[in-house]
Structure 1
Amino acid sequence: MNLKWTAALAACVMLASPSGAETVVVTAAQMVDVLAGREVAKPQITIVNGRITAVGHQGDAIPEGAKRIDLGERTMLPGLIDMHVHLTGDPHFSGYTGLEFTDNFWTVVGVANAKRTLEAGFTTVRNVGSANYDDVALKQGIERGYIAGPRIVPATYALGSTGGHCDATEFPPSITTSTVNIANSPDEYRALVRKVHKYGAEVIKVCMTGGVLSKGDSVGAQQLSYEEIKAIVDEAHMLGLRVAVHAHGTAGINDALRAGVDTVEHASLADEESFKLAKSHGAWFDMDIYNDDYILAEGAKNGMFAESLAKEKMVGLKQRQTFRAAHAAGVKMLFGTDGGVYPNGDNARQFAKMVEWGMTPLEAIQASTKSAAEALDKTADVGAIAVGRYGDIVAVDGDPLRDVRLLEHPSFVMKGGDVVKRP
């Protein structure tokens, strides 16, 4: 085929695509309208070429030739969003047990976890930390159709300080470990922000305090100075990126908020000042209040360090109490689970915990849809069943506003108009 004919054929395909675009009409008994905060009876959703073109009611006109999907007595919701996952993590290999594998083993783990997460109803995730730019690789593979998975907002490496939560602290000095994500001054952090952005980061993740799973640090101890986190935030915002900060300890949380971070991950020991700072700066709390159950039940048998289990016992209940207090204080809240610390695909188990600790089912659902889309700055694309957004739909057998645990077992999942899971 000569070049002239190839170009002509391509032009014909582009011209034909609007009229030949696939049209899908989805109906159900009811729909959770997360924008209006109510349920709608007998909805009818029209999706053309992956995007929603009409949100109406059964009985409205249906485009000629449309493919019809009737979900019967089920309730449909927008595709869910998890704002804190590690798709390349597997909690069954904790502590030193992960050293049995080659570096690229974790990419393969990510392929399996991406599929599992999507089938669980999470059509968008924010991956806040992975080695070797694996989350970018997964995103590229999903977007090009090689593997199944959710839309990914990648952070690439989580940035941290020498000896901190995001450094490798498990080894003696004789073993050299990678420091590609480690910095120790404002200028060094500015350079790291530019580097990870260059290689695909769409959000910047920073380890501001110690953590549960890191060895040799205090879970609440601050690990970056105010000047360092301010440099990161300024650089990221200049590049149009948002900043997610891992922070358990009070001082680190509050310095990060003063510096202008966009989301605080974990936020376990936040206090009243933290709540005031978050509200005044418009920041979100993204609190993983389910995985305490998994860590304490399964961590020891998975090889988790004894000190990590001790730290979780110290901070887990306090984090849930902080969640309740932050919600009551009016702090903006997100749905983020730390998938990878517990098995990816079980993300929806957190909904029940959010309700147990103060939210209504609707608020918990909005945290993983409407609010998450706002925090991602992607309200044109995801987070609601609304005209113009992707045809991302989840359906459950029953009413999730009465029993939020129904979301743990979705019977139908659609991403961009394509059916991922059927009843």
Structure 2
Amino acid sequence: MEVQLPAMLFAEHDRADRPVWLTNARLFDGTSTPIREGAGVLVEDGRIARVGSAGDGAPEGVDTVDLGGRTLMPGIVNAHLHAIGAVPDLGFGVQPVLPGTLGHALGAKLREFLRYGVTTVRDMGTYGDQVMENRQAMRYGLFRGARILTCGLIISSTAPGDVIFDGMYRATDGNDEVRKGVREQIRRGADFIKVMATGARSVELEAGINRDEHDSAHGMSEQLTRAELETAVEEANRMGYAVVAHAEGLAGCEIAIDLNMRTIEHGFYLFQRPELLERMAEQDIALVPTFSSQYVFAGRDLQVGTDGPTERFSTRELDRVAEVNIAAAERTLQAAHAAGVPIALGGDDLELRRGGAWIEIRRMIHHGLPAHDALVASTSAAAHALGLHDLGTIEPGKIADIVVVDGDPVREPELFGDRDRFWLVLQEGSPVAGTALEVPLSEVGRAS
């Protein structure tokens, strides 16, 4: 059984009254098919009705938009972020942040994501109800933002990370507590279940004390026991929900693969176990590499590559683990790609900057993923990994999440970080962002 994800329940948004013919496009359809020139795409009632050539001409009764040779592609799917609203630090003495303000801050980010072509995101754990509140507000048509899938609280054991990320985990011990924790997330409206198969590289009493002589934490043991993880998968799958694994140490990765979890988040050291990568490919288990959080923990912020200076972010021990993780993740990315493992974009950008996708795309390419494959990871592969079968490609019948950019994203992946290169963004066929919709103040009121 597979459930209709709560994030995809009917949304009360206005849709375009007339079909739209998007013509004269350079088309990246979200698959391994090469980009082609001179394409046309018909959008009707929120979905893609036809994909053809510009030379076909506009069907009768449609609005025609000439894209002028710009690139048309599917909306970007960011498969790993923590949807935490944040407000600026205004200094000592300022009024304390009110309870609902962080929810508004998250809503502002979800709106901004559209401006960078990110139409869908997967929340991998946050605090309170701000994700649920924003998702509900979008469903009721109160604002447009990137649609958001969420795990609710992360199913963990009683562990050091539960202290560092107080309020993000549902600590469970024993099969009965695990089962109840899973049921609680489903009751809250989770789209999937996330489990801590291992501890985290950001917690000194987990990764910091599991370092070997090379500062690698590949030997980090499983956090929840195999029996507890089996219970989580059994209960979630019984109810029609997928399970995904935070898995860094190889022991947790192996159990997650044994239990056929949907995605492996991080998986830095999998290059050491090529047979596990082969099994992931056979079982259609996706890898979400998450370079960006490792760069942050290593004090490298928005760098691409590890030749630049660093600034302390964590403890010295965790800084060293993060540096090793970047190098290990590069080897795993290349080995996974060679083995045919599905790879999905997951920015894991702690500050949710520009949708978190742009910098992760560049880093995946820098660390060895071919540019075209990085775009596939950001669209169809990510959508497939999330169980969003109506998204991710430009083909008839799919939901019309469409991004139009100035330039060739395969040759210029850096364009994803420049909001002025996003000419038009459609979500469910409706125009929601892009420079084509923005009118300079100097033009307001000017006679046509």
**TM > 0.5 between the two?**
yes
In 1, Cα distance between the equivalents of 2:326 and 2:352?
14
The 5 A counterparts of 1:22-421 are 22-35=18-31, 37-88=33-84, 104-165=100-161, 167-169=162-164, 181-218=170-207, 220-270=220-270, 271-295=273-297, 296-298=299-301, 304=314, 308-340=318-350, 343-379=353-389, 381-409=390-418, 410-412=421-423, 413-419=425-431, 420-421=433-434
**Structure 1 residue 139: deviation in Å?**
1.4
1:349 and 1:28, CA in 2 relative to 1: closer, same or farther beyond 3 A? Answer: farther
Contact preservation (8 Å) 1:89, 1:341: no
Contact preservation (8 Å) 1:33, 1:40: no
1:74 and 1:319, CA in 2 relative to 1: closer, same or farther beyond 3 A? Answer: same
Could you give the per-residue CA deviations for residues 343-374 of structure 1, whole angstroms, max 9, x where no partner exists? 35242122222222222222111112121222
Contact preservation (8 Å) 1:169, 1:215: no
In 2, Cα distance between the equivalents of 1:346 and 1:282?
25
Contact preservation (8 Å) 1:23, 1:47: yes
**Structure 1 residue 303: deviation in Å?**
6.5
SS for the counterpart of 1:37 is coil
Contact preservation (8 Å) 1:87, 1:344: no
**Please, what TM-score do these two structures have when normalized by structure 1?**
0.84
SS for the counterpart of 1:355 is helix
Contact preservation (8 Å) 1:391, 1:416: yes
Q: CA RMSD in A?
A: 2.8
SS for the counterpart of 1:189 is helix
Contact preservation (8 Å) 1:210, 1:217: yes
Could you give the per-residue CA deviations for residues 221-252 of structure 1, whole angstroms, max 9, x where no partner exists? 42111111111111111111111111111111
1:180 and 1:362, CA in 2 relative to 1: closer, same or farther beyond 3 A? Answer: closer
Contact preservation (8 Å) 1:193, 1:235: yes
Contact preservation (8 Å) 2:28, 2:73: yes
Matched residue type, 2:264: V
SS for the counterpart of 2:56 is coil
Greater Cα shift, 334-343 or 294-303: 294-303
Contact preservation (8 Å) 1:244, 1:261: yes
**Structure 1 residue 264: deviation in Å?**
0.4
1:276 and 1:298, CA in 2 relative to 1: closer, same or farther beyond 3 A? Answer: closer
Contact preservation (8 Å) 2:265, 2:289: yes
**Structure 1 residue 401: deviation in Å?**
2.3
Could you give the per-residue CA deviations for residues 281-304 of structure 1, whole angstroms, max 9, x where no partner exists? 321111112343344134997965
Percent identity, please: 28
**Structure 1 residue 136: deviation in Å?**
2.0
**Structure 1 residue 327: deviation in Å?**
1.6
Matched residue type, 2:289: M
**Structure 1 residue 261: deviation in Å?**
0.9
Could you give the per-residue CA deviations for residues 31-71 of structure 1, whole angstroms, max 9, x where no partner exists? 01233612222111111121111111113243444222222
Matched residue type, 1:168: V
Contact preservation (8 Å) 2:151, 2:194: yes
1:41 and 1:280, CA in 2 relative to 1: closer, same or farther beyond 3 A? Answer: closer
SS for the counterpart of 2:373 is helix
SS for the counterpart of 2:353 is coil
SS for the counterpart of 1:130 is coil
Gaps of 5+ in 1: 1-16, 94-99, 171-176
Contact preservation (8 Å) 1:213, 1:305: no
Contact preservation (8 Å) 2:399, 2:429: yes
Q: How many residues align?
A: 392
Contact preservation (8 Å) 1:291, 1:341: no
SS for the counterpart of 1:345 is helix
Matched residue type, 1:282: D
In 2, Cα distance between the equivalents of 1:261 and 1:21?
41
**Structure 1 residue 203: deviation in Å?**
1.0
Contact preservation (8 Å) 2:128, 2:167: no
SS for the counterpart of 1:378 is coil
SS for the counterpart of 2:35 is strand
SS for the counterpart of 1:146 is coil
SS for the counterpart of 1:123 is strand
1:180 and 1:254, CA in 2 relative to 1: closer, same or farther beyond 3 A? Answer: closer
Contact preservation (8 Å) 2:292, 2:359: yes
